[in-house]
Amino acid sequence: MYGRTCRWEEAELVLIAVPWGRGVSFRPGTEKAPALIRAVSPQIDYYRPECPHLEEASLFWAEPEAPFSLEAEPDAVYEAEVLPYVARWAEAALTARKPFGIVGGDHSVPLGAHHALQKFAPAPYGVLHIDAHADLRSSYDGLRYSHATILYHISQLPQVERIVAVGVRDWAREEAEYARSRYPALVVYEMQRLAQAAYLGRSWMETVSEIVSLLPPYVYISLDVDALEVGYVPSTGTPVPGGFHYEQLFFLLEAVRRSGRRILAFDVCETGGAQLDAIVSAHLIYRLCGLVLCAQEQP
Q: How far apart are CA 275 and CA 33, in angstroms?
A: 9
Exposed (0-12), middle (13-18) or buried (19+): which is 276, by Cβ within 10 Å? Answer: middle
Q: What percent of the chain has pLDDT over 70?
A: 97
Give pLDDT tens digits for 152-211.
Answer: 999 999 999 999 999 999 999 999 999 999 999 999 999 999 999 999 999 999 999 999
State if pTM tops 0.85.
Answer: yes
Query: Which comes out higher in pLDDT, residue 45 or 278?
Result: 278
Helix (H) or strand (E) holding 213: helix 204-213
Q: Which of 42-56, 103-117, 146-160, 267-281 has the lowest mean pLDDT?
A: 42-56
CA distance 110 to 273: 19
Closest CA to 36 of 208, 233, 178, 223: 233
From 140, 32, 20, select the one nearest 80 (Cα to Cα).
20
**Taking 90 as the threshold, does the pLDDT of residue 3 lie above it?**
no
- pLDDT value at position 17? 98
Model pLDDT for residues 43-77, shown as the tens digit of each residue: 998 888 878 888 888 999 999 999 999 989 999 99
To the nearest whole number, what is the mean pLDDT of the chain? 94
pLDDT over 80 at 299, yes or no: no
Residue % of the chain over a pLDDT of 90: 88
Contact partners, residue 78, CB within 8 Å, separation at least 6: 20, 22, 23, 108, 145
- Residue-level pLDDT at 284: 97
Tell whether the model's pLDDT for residue 298 goes beyond 50. no
Q: Which sequence spans correspond to the domains of the chain? A: 8-297
CATH number of 8-297: 3.40.800.10
pLDDT range class, residue 295, cuts 50, 70, 90? low
